[in-house]
Amino acid sequence: MKPDFVIIAVDGGAASGKSSTSRLVAERLNLMHVDTGSHYRAVTFALLQKGVGPDDEAAVAERLKSIPLSTELDGRSARIALDGRVPTKDELRSEAVNNAVSPYAAVPAVRQFLFDYQRAQADIARENNFTGLIMEGRDIGSVIFPDATLRVFLEADAATRAERRAAEGQSDSIEKRDKIDSSRKTAPLTCPDGAYKIDNSNLTLEEVVEEIANAVSNCV
Ligand code: C5P
């Protein structure tokens, strides 16, 4: 039976093309787009401001209790708001956040804090009459939506990923983040069994979008 609501999980390492691909697939298939990297970045930004380090899990858990989360729709993109405010792009992509986000994302209390919020994004997409949800991150197909209609894992070679970040004018420790993200105990970055793997090093964005759209139509 054709599902009335589609969920696409997109995982992959830093600069593997998740965001550009997910945004275009969202447009093509009328999906709400959620970038969960921005959730971890937002929480990192808040915890850095409060001066709580990732090594003190009890203090992190305590601080998180005082951060109310909500969601604001910006076109098709659902943005996380902390205490009623959506952090700016500069706040989320600063060098300080780039360097600190993976250690914070490895803290189980941080992942637990975001789990229900991320699952609930499907309800927001339904309430806003989207045909479905495309959510990108590191553990979407393995932990958040293992029941997704389609689970995609994106890869690209190291040179291509470094070029992408350079083209965005960003200084980002891609390999360092991937290493921490892949080796953490809770919800490590991994290609889940049965996921549709795409190496996009030599593909255009349009080709990747086409491949995902075809794969979705084979699933529904
Ligand atoms: O996707 P982006 O590179 O913005 O993600 C920033 C960081 O957030 C990742 O390096 C990772 O540590 C963390 N993250 C995660 N799980 C997700 C999404 C992001 O641990 N689902």
Q: For ligand 1, atom 2, which residue shows the shortest CA distance?
A: 37
pTM (2 decimals)?
A: 0.96
Is 82 in contact with 41 (CB distance < 8 Å)? no
CATH number of the structural domain 6-219: 3.40.50.300
> 164-203, pLDDT tens digit by residue?
888 887 777 888 999 999 999 999 999 999 999 999 999 9
22 burial class (0-12, 13-18, 19+ CB within 10 angstroms)?
Answer: buried
Rounded to the nearest 10°, the torsion over CA 66, 67, 68, 73 is 170
Strand ranges of the sheet holding 31-35, from the earlier edge strand across to the other edge: 69-74, 77-82, 31-35, 132-137, 6-12, 150-155, 196-199
Strand, coil or helix: 77: strand
Q: Where are the domains of the chain?
A: 6-219
Is 174 in contact with 165 (CB distance < 8 Å)? yes
Compute the average pLDDT of residues 61-68: 95
**Residue 101 Cα to ligand 1 middle (Å):** 7
| Predicted confidence (pLDDT) at residue 1 exceeds the cutoff of 70 | no
**Residue 37 Cα to ligand 1 middle (Å):** 4
> 6-34, pLDDT tens digit by residue?
999 999 999 999 999 999 999 999 999 99
Extract long-range pairs of 84-90: CB within 8 Å, 24+ residues apart.
Answer: 87/41, 87/42, 87/45
Q: For ligand 1, atom 4, which residue shows the shortest CA distance?
A: 37
Residues within 6 Å of ligand 1 by CB: 14, 36-37, 40-41, 101-102, 105, 137-140, 177, 181
Share of the chain above pLDDT 70, in %: 99
**Using CA atoms, how far apart are residues 150 and 161, in angstroms rounded to an integer?**
24
Q: For ligand 1, atom 3, which residue shows the shortest CA distance?
A: 14
